[in-house]
Amino acid sequence: MNQWNDKVRQLFYSNYGDLPSLLDMKVDKHLVRALAQFWNTSYSCFTFRKIDLVPTVEEYMTLLRCPKI
């Protein structure tokens, strides 16, 4: 996205919001692998033993080290 001019970048962000900022994130593969083991697809939450956990947006931002969104 560095090669885009300001007009194209603004158009893209107006259509897709903060989604493009995810493209620049460095992902911790070990963290994602660990979180995936506890993700409960039926309830869309993390399950640790018998405890269900649904992180807030702020907690997801902290886990993913994504301060932009």
Share of the chain above pLDDT 70, in %: 87
As beta bridge partners, residue 46 has: 39, 53
Q: Tell me the residue length of the chain.
A: 69
Position 68 scores a pLDDT of 62
Confidence class of residue 69 from pLDDT cuts 50, 70 and 90? low
Give me the residue spans of the domains in the chain.
Answer: 25-69
CA distance 60 to 56: 6
User: What tokens does 15 get?
Assistant: 């259509």
Residues 8 and 2 sit within 8 Å (Cβ to Cβ): no
